[in-house]
Structure formats: structure tokens, C-alpha cells
Amino acid sequence: MDIPSASEETIELTKTTLLSHVPEVSLLEDGTFFSNPEYLDSLSSNRTKHLICQMVAIGNALQIAQFAMSQSSTTQALYTHSKDPEYFDMARALAALAIKYGPAWEPNRAMRVRQLANVFNARWNITMGTNAFEEAIWWRRKATDVARGMRLATTHPLPAPEELPTKDLEAVRDWMSATVERSSAEDVARIRRGQSHELYTNLHVQAHLLMAWARTSEDTEPAARRTEGLNEAKDCLSEAVTLASTPETLWEVHCDVGFVLKVQWSMSHSRAALDGSVKSLIKALHVAQAADETSTTFDQGKIYRTLAEMFFHRYYSTYALEDLDSSIKYSKFELGLLLKGSEVFTQQAIILAGLLAHRANVTLELNYFQAIPQQPRGSPTMTHIEEAQEWIAAAVSESQKPTEPVRMYLEKVRGDLHIIGGGEGGIDTAIAIYERALLAHPCKSCKAAAEMRMHAAIGRVHKARLSRSPIDYLDAIRALDESIVQLREHVRPYEAFKYVWNVAECHDDIFNARDLKCIADDVRFRSGHVALDTWTQLIDDVACSDAKRIQALFSLGRLSLRLLGDPKLARDQVMRAVNCLDEATLLYSSRLEQLRMLRKYYYLPGAALAMSLRASDDLPTAVYLFEKA
């Protein structure tokens, strides 16, 4: 391609022409490409400048666009063959020139945008640079939007948002693109100058359509496409927040952002989505409380319920008692707004009782590990148990007849309270409650029945730990093995984590307990291998918190030494636990919380030193690992 150089005068004249040309529809952002006065000067090749000057001198916009498009495609092929960066700059500049001069009515306008995406894609194929890849995706998506908008704007009447088929993401995007295409530059300027509420409403409607599509197409669309739709909804809402001018609109947007992030969390179990949902919902509450606490415009009960749910899920991510207490607090707030005797009150009261039972169980475990003697009355554990029983009594007395799912949950909570509050007799009562509920349940192979069967098996594990009887342990293993198979069929992996954890603990206990030597060796070693496989599975589970992962890694190290006889593998697992502890400690901003975290795992440094010596490391290496831990 033999092209002469352009003179300084020609370049200045071309720059003036480019800046004075106002396209009918601008597809290039302000300050980019030829809308930037310095862009032509920034091109490294004088041949590129000369070619652009020749094209601009033609004068006819359509001919300029067609010629630039053709030359960009040719130059892209040269770049792919020679990998010369000069050809990339030339192909990119010519594609941008074709976009700038393409008339609004010209049917190939989307193809010109796609050509720019192809240029960036060729760049990525050669350099594998992230920026080129992102630019290629962005311009290809813009080309698709332009094509949809042009098609709809010219061939179809624009439907009302409520008439749109929400299960089709393409239809939602079509509607959004057509809306933009049909808005002239004057309309957009008018909206942005003085009538932001109209633009806010438009963005809010777009977000709701995308949210509706993501919810209703859960079973028919891949998760990646649903995530894409939710991300677009979140972007619309983020812009809508800046335009919301009243407490009511701010409330709506913050609530919607919280619900979008909640759906995203349910799909990806991302901690960022979980935290973002909680933060947005709390912002919505602050807006409502600052406006008017007695206003009926703000449905605070719905927010309280969602916050209670999200804090409970976050507790299973952080195992921070503050999150569990926040879940209980917001659940109580919601019950304060509900009418006693209603079905919703019954259901939420039993859920609160379940939260309190779980809180009592956590307190009991903390007291056990910290060697705090249990007080029969007035202790935190008994306080939570008594409060849970009060809520159960209120729910049952105010209700005519709970629905089947609520009744199953009620029986589960009652059984849990007996396990927490009593000794071996309480555990026997709990197991009897679980088994009665299973017999009365009409569906023996559903999620509720599978969870109830697993709770009965866990009750047998508690009984075995109290009695230390080999017979009870074998009974517990048999019940766990039967229930875990059904649980995996009916419960999602994220929800099954807490049950699988109990399975691993029980098998680990059987293999390591010194007072259970009367159990046959083949049974003990089978339990050891089951525990080893289960711990290995759990450390990679998305539901596994840092605290749980440290425990699992330490247990893996212990089993690697005692079961496999591999001290080097045991040392590596313990050091992984040490590294995980280091990362988990940094998540706490309070120095006191960091010290509590370190104190909880005080045994790790000594274990690292012992495993290193067992692995025949030299003394300096062992000391180094000890100091690191």
C-alpha cells in the first residue's frame, strides 16, 4: 500500500473539517477518535493521515463512509498477515471515520461499528491484551444494539413496557435500543437539563424488565445470560440513583438494587453481591426512617425479612455472631409489623424460633470450646431457648392450622431445641419428634423430608458423642449414610454444606477417638477415608467460610498423618491452614477481633512445627515454619 505523506496545511484543514462535521447520530463518545482535536496528530503514521485527508476531501458523507469501511477491512487483513502495529492504527482510524460519516438512515451503519470491533479482535488475537479484548466486546455489543434499534425503529411500533414479553432478554434489549434510537439529541438534552424524572422513570422501567426476565427465565436460560441481564439492570439502577429526587424514588431504587444483588448472590454465591445487597437494603431503610416512620408508602416489613435472610446467609459465610444477631433483630422487627394470627406471622415466628435455636446452639458450642460451665437458668443458651419456645407458643396459639412446610419446620425447630436444651433424654425426645414428623409427612422423598431425616441422623450423632458408645456411633453412621444420599438429591449443594460438614465430623470422630478402640478396624478405616474425602470436598466448597476451611485443613493434615502415613502431606495441609488463618485475620478491621481469631487457633503454630519435624525437615526449616505460623 504505497501512500505518500500529507502536508501540514492539508492535515490542519482536515482537522477543521472533521471537528466541524456533526453526525446525524453520534455513535462515538465525546473526546474519542475524531471528536478529539488531537487524535489526527496522535496517529504515528503519516501515510494514515494522508489517506484520511484524501477521504475527507471527497465531501460526500456516504462515499466517505463506504470508502473508509473498504480500506479499513483491507488494512485489517494486512495487519493480521504482517502484525505491523502501523496497520492496526490505520484500520482502527478508518473504521472510526466510517462510523462518524455513516448517515443515520444508511442500513450498513451497524456493519461499520462491527468493523471496529473486528479490528480490536484482530489486535487481541495477536497481542492477547485485555484492553483489546474488552474493546472488541464493547463495540460488538454496540453494533448489535444499533442493528436492533434501527430494525425496530423502522419496522415495528414501540410496545409499552408492560406489554413486553419479559421472558425474552433479546426483546428487552430491543425495546431499550429502540427507545434510545427514537430519542433525538434535543429530547435527551431536554431530559438531562430539567426533567430528570422522565429519564429516571425510563431507566427504572428498563431495570425492572431486565430483573423480571432474570427471575422468570431461571430454568430456561444459562446462568451467564441471566447474570448479564442482572448486571445491565444494576447499571440502569446505578444511574437512576443519581436522578432520584424524592424519598419514594430513592427507596424504590435502593430496594431494587438490593433485590438484584440478592438474585445475583443466589446464582453465584459471591460475597460481594451478598454485602452489596445488605448495604443497599439498609440504605433503603434509612431513607424510609428519615422520611416518615409511619408512612405506608414504604414496605419496611419486606425489607426486614430480606435483611434477616441475607444476614443469616452472611453468617454462614463469615461465622460472625454479629451477623446472626442482626438476622434475629430484623426478624423481630418484621414480626412487630405483622398481624398476629395471620399465616405470615405464624411462618415468620417459627423462622425466628429457628434462628434463636441456632443462636443457642452456637453459644453452647462456644462455651464448650472455652470450657465455660453451663448454667441451668439465666445463661445465654437457656435465654435463647426460652425465647424460641415463647415464639413457637405464640405462633401455634394464634394459628388455626399451619401449612405442611411450616409444620415440618416447626417440628424441626422443636427437635433442635430438645437437642440443645437437654442431655441424652432430650436428644431421644428430639429424635422421636423428627421421626414422628417424617411418618406424618405426605411426601417421603422431598426436600423437607430429606432435611428432617438428616436432622434425625445428626441427633443420633449428638447422642453418640454424649454416650461414647460404639453401638451409638455405628447407628449414627448408618443413619448419616442413608440420609446424605437423599439429601444430595433434593437440596442444592450450597444448602447441603452444613449437613455434609456433620457427616465429615462424625466419621473423623470415629477414626480419631481413642476411647472407641472396640470398633472394628475396617469400620474405623472406612470412616477415616470417608472423612478424608469429605474434608477434601468441603475446603473447595463456595459455602465454606475461612473459619470452617481452617478446621477442615487441620483435620486433613491430621488424617494425612494418621491414616495415610504421609507426614509431608500433613505438613503442607497444616501450612495451608496457617495461610488461610493469615488471610482470614486480615478481613477484620478491629484489632480485638483479630486477636480473638488468632487465639481461637492457638494450636496451629505448634502443629506446624510438629508436622515439619515429622516430615524430617531440617531444624532451620522447622523453626522458620513455626515462626511463620
Q: What pLDDT digit, counting tens, does each position of 255-307 carry?
A: 888 888 887 787 777 778 888 888 888 888 888 877 765 555 567 778 888 88
Which residue carries 448472590 as its cell?
265
Q: Looking at the predicted structure, is the pLDDT value of residue 399 above 80?
A: no
196 pLDDT band, cuts 50/70/90, is: very low
Total residue length of the chain? 629
What does the block give as the cell for 86? 502501523
The residue-averaged pLDDT of 175-195 equals: 47
Give the angle 426-427-432 at the CA atoms, nearest 5°.
Answer: 100
What does the block give as the cell for 131? 484492553
- Distance between alpha carbon 94 and the CA centroid of its chain, in Å? 41
Q: In the chain, what is the straight-line distance between the N-terminal and C-terminal CA atoms, in Å?
A: 65
Minimum mean pLDDT range among 50-54, 144-148, 593-597, 618-622:
144-148
Residues 6+ apart with CB under 8 A from 296: none
Residue type present at position 57: A
Q: Which residue has the higher pLDDT, 540 or 624?
A: 540
Minimum mean pLDDT range among 149-163, 273-287, 368-382, 395-409:
368-382
Q: Looking at the predicted structure, is the pLDDT value of residue 415 above 70?
A: no
pLDDT at 194: 42
CB 338 within 8 A of CB 319: no
Q: Which of 156-160, 385-389, 601-605 has the highest mean pLDDT?
A: 601-605
Share of the chain above pLDDT 90, in %: 0
Q: Looking at the predicted structure, is the pLDDT value of residue 163 above 60?
A: no
The residue-averaged pLDDT of 10-35 equals: 60
CB 401 within 8 A of CB 394: no
For residue 442, the SS3 value is coil
CA gap 250, 390 in Å, rounded = 38
Which residue carries 429519564 as its cell?
199
Q: Which residue has the higher pLDDT, 55 or 186?
A: 55
The residue-averaged pLDDT of 159-170 equals: 54
The residue-averaged pLDDT of 212-219 equals: 54
Q: For the chain, what is the mean pLDDT?
A: 70
Q: Which residue has the higher pLDDT, 395 or 77?
A: 77
Q: Looking at the predicted structure, is the pLDDT value of residue 596 above 80?
A: no
Q: Looking at the predicted structure, is the pLDDT value of residue 323 above 80?
A: yes
Minimum mean pLDDT range among 207-221, 281-295, 590-604:
207-221
pLDDT at 327: 84
CB 459 within 8 A of CB 427: yes
CA gap 463, 415 in Å, rounded = 13
The residue-averaged pLDDT of 144-157 equals: 52
Which residue carries 445470560 as its cell?
225
pLDDT at 191: 41
The residue-averaged pLDDT of 78-106 equals: 77
Name which of 513, 420, 444, 500 is nearest 472 in CA terms.
513
Q: Which of 27-31, 375-379, 559-563, 610-614 has the highest mean pLDDT?
A: 559-563
